[in-house]
Amino acid sequence: MSATVLLGGGRITGALVAGLRLAGYDKPIVVHDRHAGKLRQLKKRYAIGTEPDLHRAVAQANLLVVAVRPDSVRSLLRSMGPVDRPVTAVSLAAGVPLAKLRAETGSKVRWARAMPSPVCRSGLGLTAVTFERGLGPVARRTIKQFFGKVGAVVEIPESRFDAFTVTYSSSHGLHALAALAHASQKLGLDRKTAFAAAAHALADGIVAWREGNASLDHLLREAATPGGIAATVMSSMDAAGYGLAVHQALRAGMRRARKNAKP
Ligand SMILES: NC(=O)c1ccc[n+]([C@@H]2O[C@H](COP(=O)([O-])OP(=O)(O)OC[C@H]3O[C@@H](n4cnc5c(N)ncnc54)[C@H](OP(=O)(O)O)[C@@H]3O)[C@@H](O)[C@H]2O)c1
């Protein structure tokens, strides 16, 4: 009963375990998944414990992390059956509300939700957390410290969790990188230079803004001389509906998250 147990050995579990190892996390980690091959891979790469039996996995948990896809959460929790000792559980499932998690487990399980991203692999990420009312201060601290090992942690109300989820995905930056580099290749830049230029263009200004004191407006004015090339490119993107496309995309993500919340 002293391990951190992750249920689901897929993408986010792999990234989280990699980040925890990088950070020197010293508590035992056990992963449960229905695919023996995934467990073997995780064990080989990160020297974690694996447990193919769900009940035996849960029995070892001091902290239980649910990392299956949203549409698998209910059946996983039902297979878990009643838990007869206090357990602190964290669900990573996008859009699945605390009330739904609570409804599937007995009163011994106290719930939190967390939204990390695969960037936690490198310790550079951000994780949002939210807690159900009955979760005590010690458990809250444990959860914040756990995700704090792999990046910054921000606590937000559950009512804002879907908005955070659709905003905070490393896919935004990677998607923009792909679009910018591919457009650049079409102009004749070779692939390597196009990706290097696009990665610096997207990442460097953002890091400078995040880590410095200058305002975004100031940095934008500095980077785009009125009437110059950068200003022309930006206004062309805006005229083509860049802001609207982002707005509509986030709303689509919110609708998808709400589907996960349905009973
Ligand atoms: N990936 C991300 O970037 C990210 C970021 C933040 C949060 N999340 C959340 O994290 C969760 C997992 O996402 P993921 O991308 O890691 O998914 P994934 O790669 O599909 O991994 C989930 C793993 O859990 C297994 N599984 C499902 N139900 C199971 C059960 N009843 N017993 C044992 N194993 C079971 C799956 O097997 P099958 O393939 O056979 O179903 C799969 O191997 C999702 O709810 C997602 O919303 C993901």
**Model pLDDT for residues 166-185, shown as the tens digit of each residue:** 999 999 999 999 999 999 99
Ligand 1 lined by 68 (C-beta under 6 Å): yes
Q: Please give the number of the atom of ligand 1 that sits closest to the Cα of 165.
A: 6
Confidence label for 106 from pLDDT (cuts 50, 70 and 90): confident
Amino acid at 174: L
Handedness of CA 145, 146, 147, 151 (dihedral sign): positive
Handedness of CA 258, 82, 132, 23 (dihedral sign): negative
pLDDT at 243: 96
Ligand 1 lined by 93 (C-beta under 6 Å): yes
And the tokens for 104?
């599937």
Contact between 114 and 94 (Cβ < 8 Å): no
pTM given for the model: 0.94
Domain 3-167: give its CATH superfamily.
NAD(P)-binding Rossmann-like Domain (3.40.50.720)
CA separation for the pair 57, 244 (Å, rounded): 46
Amino acid at 63: L
Ligand 1 lined by 256 (C-beta under 6 Å): no
Q: Please give the number of the atom of ligand 1 that sits closest to the Cα of 117.
A: 5
pLDDT at 78: 95
pLDDT at 102: 94
Ligand 1 lined by 94 (C-beta under 6 Å): yes
Residues in Cβ contact with 147 at an 8 Å cutoff, skipping those fewer than 6 apart: 114, 116, 120, 127, 129, 153
Contact between 93 and 10 (Cβ < 8 Å): no
DSSP bridge partners of 57: none
Pinpoint the residues of the chain covered by CATH 3.40.50.720. 3-167
Q: Please give the number of the atom of ligand 1 that sits closest to the Cα of 11.
A: 16
Mean pLDDT on 202-230:
94
Out of 1.10.3730, 3.40.50, 1.10.3470, 1.20.1270, select the CATH number for domain 170-261.
Answer: 1.10.3730
pLDDT at 237: 96
CA of 67 to the centre of ligand 1 (A): 5
Mean pLDDT on 128-137:
95
And the tokens for 13?
């579990």
Shortest-distance Cα residue to atom 7 of ligand 1:
92
**Residue to mutate, 6, 7, 11, 129, ligand 1, most ligand atoms under 8 Å from C-beta:** 11
Each residue of 54-88: pLDDT tens digit?
Answer: 999 999 999 999 999 999 999 999 999 888 889 99
Contact between 124 and 99 (Cβ < 8 Å): no
CA of 71 to the centre of ligand 1 (A): 9
And the tokens for 91?
């669900």
| HSE toward the beta carbon, residue 182, CA cutoff 13 A | 6
pLDDT at 1: 64
Each residue of 221-238: pLDDT tens digit?
Answer: 999 999 999 999 999 999
Q: How far is CA 140 from CA 34, 40, 58, 145, 209, in A?
A: 29, 31, 20, 9, 31
Shortest-distance Cα residue to atom 14 of ligand 1:
11
